[in-house]
Amino acid sequence: MRDETVGDMLGRRGFSRRGLLKFAIAMTSSLALPPSLAPVMAANLAAARRQSVIWLSFQECTGCLETLLRTDSPTIAGLIFDFISLDYQESLMAAAGSAAELTLRQAVAANAGKYLLAIDGSIPVADGGVYSLTGGRTNVSMLQEFAPGAAAILAIGTCAAYGGIPKAFPNPTGAVGVEDVILDKPIVNIPGCPPIPEVLSGVLVYFVSFGRLPDLDDQKRPLAYFGTTIHDQCYRKPFYDQGKFAKSFDDEGARQGWCLFELGCKGPTTHNACASLKWNDGTSFPIESGHGCLGCSEPDFWDQEGGFYTSLAGGTGPGWRNAGIAAATGVALGAAAAIAARRKVP
Amino acid sequence: MNDVAKALRGFVADVGPGVALSLEACVHCGQCAEACQFYVQTGDPRYTPIHKVELFKQSYDREIGPFAFAYKFFGLAPKLTAETLLEWQDLVYDSCNMCGRCSLICPMGIDIAELVERTRHGMFEAGLAPADFLGALAEKERATGSPFGLTSENFGTLLHEIGEKHGVAMRVDEVRADIVPTISSIDVKTYPGSMAAIAKILNHVGESWSFRTDGFDADNVSLTAGDRAGQDAITKSIVNAAIGCEAKILVMPECGHSYTEMRWEAANSFGRDLPFRVLQITELMAEMIQSGKLRVKKVTQTATYHDACQVSRRGGATAAPRVIMQALGVELRELEDAGAENWCCGGGGGVALIKRAQPLRDKAFALKQKQIEAAGAATVYTSCSGCRQTLEHGGKAAGWKVTVASLLELVADNLAP
Amino acid sequence: MLLSFARGPGMQVAALIMVVGMFWRLAGILLLRRRAAHAAARNPFGARLLGGAVTVFTRTIPRRTFWPRVAPGVALSYVFHVGLFIILFGGAPHILIIHEIFGVSWPDLPKGVIVVASGLTLAALIALLVRRLTHPVLQLLSTADDFLSWLIVFLPVATGILLSGETVGGYGTLLALHILSVEALMIWLPFGKLMHVALVFAGRGVLGYNFARKGAAT
């Protein structure tokens, strides 16, 4: 089983070569690759060994894993589990306790230097990292032990990529992202709270097909999915351009599907593929459902100035009380200057 | 105290919120230059009005302004030096009539003319009022009460002489008088007929009036020189003289700055409301014409009118001369820029008393000449002896056919029973 | 992140500095010793107040007698000021900010209008700089403040145009730069010639009042 190629395994399952090609066409499109690469991808996939993936869950809510599993029918997301061998995943595997630990060590040893290390959840570093333990071991120590043997690390979800919600002020656990702990391994950040399932499967397929990671941007995100903003692809952009904004939820403009900029949509500054790939197999995405983008695939999205419902044009001002104090201070300073001046004027 | 320190003291004295606001507000738009006869006629940007008060502004910023400590600490404005004071002398004196056209154009509402007057305080303290001969006259005035050293006694004698010569009864130093007229020193020297004219008119309407030899010389050269002490002293003597005979009306002569000083400044420096009204002679005549007290004959002539800047634009008494000329039946052809928008004759504000400023005055006069000639009238009337003299001098040099005349004397010559 | 700073601490600090500075400067001016005016006013108090208020508006347009010499410069300046007014009070994101601070809003102008206004504003700004550099009077008068203030106004206009054009640069970066440039303007405003946003009303009003007192033309 271990040495079976993907093509063999798919053949056993009754999945034809044509089906694989159709899959490859869909993937190359999703990855914004030239269509001519589809047959190459299909051939590579057929000849590939199943890729070992070791998945460590740290300080997370399990939402990133759930999003990958929420498929009603065989889809791209579903098929991915045929191309990879998920050798360790605490929520899904049957083993527990010391049996699970043994599985982990065996998988690491058997695939040394070749496994993909998938991380979800942030890594707490405060107080020696005691805030998240697996079998008594801190996340930090586990990451530091298993990163060296990986071919690359996938930081899945905003928590693993940037620290996410646990990092929100005041960050009591000292939560950080993978890239703040591991500095000497290729890392792919796949942010999103949660990330779009097709994005993860696209990265994995690319790796399995071409033996390397896809092109990344300066925040280590796959350019194919994070190269544009929600705003760039949003179907409501014409309303933005025409200045048609919903002023409150469920007002006339909102019902007409107008742009949600004034209701705090962070689409223009959020890089992700939600507006094109959408969610739940292309059903919808937050803006289409009438709520502005929260910016959940960007660092520190939870702490952004003014919160989710303050537009990008606004932020957090000093407030009227502080402004009043400032005015009084100004008058006092001016009065002091005037008094000094009066002394000079005979 | 050295001259620079004295200048500084003069600059910062009496800076209130209004002056401070003016000094803070300039945005360097350059419009004031376009209103100033000296810039317009020479094209020299140094004559930009707000530039003339630059030393005043710098001193304000360093000493009085809200950020004075920062200006001093970081050296954001240069310190006053004797060299720069001298460099600015001709900008503050020779090339400014304090006519107020710049104050009329400034989009920020800066009363630049007022700022120049204040700047002269500092310049004077540093001994920089041009000596030939504004400074000399101011010194004489401070010492004797008159720029030509005319004493009370001499004035009394002079008045009686003029009375005899022109056949009018002069009233001098009466114990009580409702109306107290004053004179300008230019009238003493050049236009003694105007003193006779005042007497003739007041006698004609039968008012209780009197000249006072203890307060008569109104043209206040000290003001234009920037001598505050001298300015106050002259003003006080006139005010006291009027109070002394329980005057109801103090009349300013055909003169510009005397009106500005007595009507709009005197009470402020006196520190309390004056117990009498202050009227320029044209205002008095207009009032009496309108009340029917004064009746004039009709004259058939076309004329134009030159407003004195201090009386009209700065003083608010633009209507009075027109009332008079209408009563006289003068066919008035207004200048292209008349009334409050009038161009200065070029001699105001002491500039006529600065010998070396002659070329500049000539350039300013060229503007007036053009406008007066364009009005196509045989005579230009005015109600300021300073303007009258400046226009006459300029007209002579230009070989003019236009006659320059006094509105006061025209009325006096055409009294109707 | 730069944008977070700009929308948060940057905005707070800039706003507070602006408020402190403006009140400081105005108090320092208005609290100087005032001499009582004793000269008999030509007009009653009501007329004087009215004179002051009216002058705030009438000084907007120079008197006709001055037009031949000042019209070009004044017109250019108004293209800039009116254009900026249209952008600030007609542009949707700016109305949004006003609403967030003051709770009032009004309909925005079509984006095409803002685009045209922005172009004219920018062109006028550049033309005004050229004028300041070449006119002899302005060459004599101009100080570092004039040029710094120009730049500090130019940057928000330029970054705003780039941001709304959405062709050059990333939205997030341009938005951060735009907000930061506005914050720079706010910080500088009380201390240089930009303070004329407040002083113009005070100056015209005081002159109008004083001149109305004398019955003199305002």
For B40-49, what is each residue's pLDDT tens digit?
999 999 999 9
Is B354 in contact with B33 (CB distance < 8 Å)? Answer: no
Strand-pair partners of A153 = A117, A187
| Residue A8, C-beta contacts closer than 8 angstroms, at least 6 positions apart | none
Alpha-carbon gap: C111 to the closest alpha carbon of chain B (Å): 32
- Contact across the interface for B66 and A340, Cβ inside 8 Å: no
Please report how many Cα atoms fall inside a 13 Å half-sphere around the Cα of residue B188, on the Cβ side: 21
| CATH number of the CATH domain containing A101 | 3.40.50.700
- Contact across the interface for C33 and A337, Cβ inside 8 Å: no
Nearest by CB: B13 against A333, A338, A345 = A345
Coil, strand, or helix at residue B273?
coil
- Contact across the interface for B17 and C34, Cβ inside 8 Å: yes
Task: Please check whether residue A311 touches C, CB under 8 A.
Answer: yes
As a whole number, mean pLDDT of residues B215-225 equals 92
pLDDT interval class at A70 (50, 70, 90):
low
A259-293 per-position pLDDT tens digit: 999 999 999 999 999 999 998 888 999 999 999 99
Token representation of residue C63? 């008197």
Cβ-based contacts of C216 with chain B (< 8 Å): 313-316, 340
Cβ-based contacts of A335 with chain B (< 8 Å): none
Residue A103 belongs to some domain of the structure: yes
DSSP character at residue A59: B
Same domain, A235 and A213: no
Q: What is the pLDDT of residue A188?
A: 97
The contacts found for C140-145 with CB under 8 angstroms, 24 or more apart, are C140/B45, C140/B46, C140/B48, C140/B51, C141/B28, C141/B30, C141/B45, C141/B48, C141/B50, C141/B51, C142/B28, C143/B28, C145/C192, C145/C193
| Residue C134, C-beta contacts closer than 8 angstroms, at least 6 positions apart | none
pLDDT interval class at A198 (50, 70, 90):
confident
Task: Please name the amino acid found at residue C212.
Answer: A
The pTM of this model reads 0.92
Residue C41 belongs to some domain of the structure: no
Same domain, A261 and A191: no
Give chains near A: 3+ CB pairs under 8 A: B, C
- Contact across the interface for A345 and B65, Cβ inside 8 Å: no
pLDDT above 80 (res A74) = no
Same domain, A106 and A206: yes
Task: Please name the amino acid found at residue B262.
Answer: M
Q: What is the pLDDT of residue A280?
A: 84
Using alpha carbons only, what angle is made at residue C189 by residues C188 and C194, rounded to the nearest 5 degrees? 125
Cβ-based contacts of A229 with chain C (< 8 Å): 171-172
- Contact across the interface for B29 and C73, Cβ inside 8 Å: yes
Touching C: A residues 218-257, CB under 8 Å = 229, 231, 241-243, 245
Our measurement of the distance from residue B128's CA atom to the centroid of its chain's CA atoms, rounded to an integer in Å, reads 20
Residue A40 belongs to some domain of the structure: no
Give the domain extent around C172. Answer: 2-26+65-193
Strand-pair partners of B331 = B302
Touching C: B residues 235-294, CB under 8 Å = 263-268, 270-274, 277-278
Cβ-based contacts of C135 with chain B (< 8 Å): 30
Choose among B91, B151, B112: nearest CA to B30: B112
Q: Which helix (H) or strand (E) holds B180?
A: strand B179-181
Best to test chain A binding among B21, B64, B125 (most A CBs inside 10 Å): B64
As a whole number, mean pLDDT of residues A291-302 equals 96
φ and ψ at residue B237, rounded to 5 degrees: -65, -40
Q: Is the dihedral of CA B390, B391, B395, B396 positive or negative?
A: negative
Q: Could you tell me what percentage of chain B is helix, strand and coil, using 3-state DSSP and rounding each to the nearest 5?
A: 55, 10, 35
Alpha-carbon gap: B68 to the closest alpha carbon of chain C (Å): 10
In B300-357, which ranges are continuous DSSP H helix? 319-328
As a whole number, mean pLDDT of residues A304-327 equals 93
How many structural domains does chain A have? 2
Mean pLDDT of chain A: 91
DSSP character at residue B106: -
DSSP character at residue C108: P
Cα separation of B274 and B282, whole Å? 20
Cα separation of A321 and C60, whole Å? 35
Cβ-based contacts of A337 with chain B (< 8 Å): 65-69
B-chain residue closest to A336, CA distance? B66
Residue C144 belongs to some domain of the structure: yes
Nearest by CB: A345 against B15, B67, B69 = B15
Same domain, A270 and A121: no
User: Comparing A75-84, B268-277, B390-399, C55-64, which segment has the lowest mean pLDDT?
Assistant: A75-84
- Contact across the interface for B31 and C73, Cβ inside 8 Å: yes
Q: What is the pLDDT of residue A80?
A: 65
Residue A292 belongs to some domain of the structure: yes
| CATH number of the CATH domain containing C19 | 1.20.950.20
pLDDT above 60 (res A2) = no
Cβ-based contacts of B45 with chain C (< 8 Å): 136-137, 139-141
Same domain, A165 and A244: no
A-chain residue closest to B70, CA distance? A337
Tens-digit pLDDT string for chain C (218 aa): 789 999 999 999 999 999 999 999 999 999 999 988 899 999 999 999 999 999 999 999 999 999 999 999 999 999 999 999 999 999 999 999 999 999 999 999 999 999 999 999 999 999 999 999 999 999 999 999 999 999 999 999 999 999 998 888 899 999 999 999 999 999 999 999 999 999 999 999 999 999 999 999 99
Cα separation of A171 and A128, whole Å? 15
The CATH code of domain B3-125 reads: 1.10.1060
In A92-217, which ranges are continuous DSSP H helix? 97-110, 139-146, 157-162, 197-210
Choose among B111, B101, B90: nearest CA to B24: B111
Alpha-carbon gap: B39 to the closest alpha carbon of chain A (Å): 33
Residue C139 belongs to some domain of the structure: yes
Token representation of residue B318? 């633009």
The percent of residues above 90 in pLDDT, for chain B, comes to 92
Residue C126 belongs to some domain of the structure: yes
| Residue A340, C-beta contacts closer than 8 angstroms, at least 6 positions apart | B68
Domain end residue (candidates: A184, A206, A226)? A226
Q: What is the pLDDT of residue A345?
A: 76
The CATH code of domain B294-412 reads: 3.40.50
Same domain, A157 and A64: yes
What are the start and end residues of each CATH 1.10.1060 domain in chain B? 3-125
Interface of A with B (CB under 8 A): 333-334, 337-338, 340-341, 344-346
The b-or-e profile of B231-260 (16+ CB within 10 A means b, else e) is bbebbebbbebbbbbebebbbbbbbbbbbb
Burial class of residue A50, CB neighbours in 10 A (0-12, 13-18, 19+) = buried
| Residue A11, C-beta contacts closer than 8 angstroms, at least 6 positions apart | none
Task: Please name the amino acid found at residue B407.
Answer: L
Instruction: Let me know how many helices (H) and strands (E) chain C has, helices first.
Output: 10, 0
DSSP character at residue A295: -
Cβ-based contacts of B263 with chain C (< 8 Å): 39
Same domain, A200 and A111: yes
How many structural domains does chain C have? 1
As a whole number, mean pLDDT of residues B2-24 equals 93
Mean pLDDT of chain B: 95
**Complete DSSP assignment for B117-174:** HHHHHHHHHTT-S-TTBHHHHHHHHHHHSSTT---HHHHHHHHHHHHHHHT----BS-
Rounded to two decimals, the ipTM of the complex is 0.95
Q: What is the pLDDT of residue A13?
A: 78
C-chain residue closest to A295, CA distance? C172
Is B268 in contact with C36 (CB distance < 8 Å)? Answer: yes
| CATH number of the CATH domain containing A280 | 4.10.480.10
Token representation of residue A57? 């869950």
Same domain, A210 and A307: no
Residue A15 belongs to some domain of the structure: no
Cα separation of A335 and A327, whole Å? 12
Same domain, A209 and A85: yes
Residue C50 belongs to some domain of the structure: no
User: Residues in chain B, how many?
Assistant: 417
Best to test chain C binding among A252, A312, A342, A343 (most C CBs inside 10 Å): A312
Give the domain extent around A61. Answer: 50-226
Token representation of residue C20? 């402190």
Cβ-based contacts of C111 with chain A (< 8 Å): 241-243
| Residue B306, C-beta contacts closer than 8 angstroms, at least 6 positions apart | B335, B342, B345, B368, B372, B380, B381, B382, B387, B391
Token representation of residue B68? 């004075």
Is B106 in contact with C62 (CB distance < 8 Å)? Answer: no
Cα separation of B302 and B306, whole Å? 14
φ and ψ at residue A229, rounded to 5 degrees: -95, 165
Cα separation of C36 and B282, whole Å? 28
Same domain, A93 and A194: yes
Choose among B8, B286, B198, B267: nearest CA to B121: B8
Residue A87 belongs to some domain of the structure: yes
Count other C-beta atoms under 10 Å from residue A133's C-beta. 13
B-chain residue closest to C26, CA distance? B66
As a whole number, mean pLDDT of residues A183-197 equals 95
Task: Please check whether residue B338 touches C, CB under 8 A.
Answer: no
B77-123 per-position pLDDT tens digit: 999 999 999 999 999 999 999 999 999 999 999 999 999 999 999 99
pLDDT interval class at A17 (50, 70, 90):
confident
Residue C161 belongs to some domain of the structure: yes
B118-159 per-position pLDDT tens digit: 999 999 999 999 999 899 999 999 998 899 989 999 999 999
Q: What is the pLDDT of residue A73?
A: 45
Is B66 in contact with C24 (CB distance < 8 Å)? Answer: yes
pLDDT interval class at A79 (50, 70, 90):
low
pLDDT interval class at B178 (50, 70, 90):
very high
Cα separation of C133 and C142, whole Å? 9
Residue C163 belongs to some domain of the structure: yes
pLDDT above 60 (res B415) = yes
pLDDT above 80 (res A346) = no
Domain end residue (candidates: A226, A241, A273)? A226
Token representation of residue B35? 């209103």
Cβ-based contacts of C142 with chain B (< 8 Å): 28
Beta-carbon contacts below 8 Å between A and B: 25
Same domain, A130 and A197: yes
Same domain, A163 and A222: yes
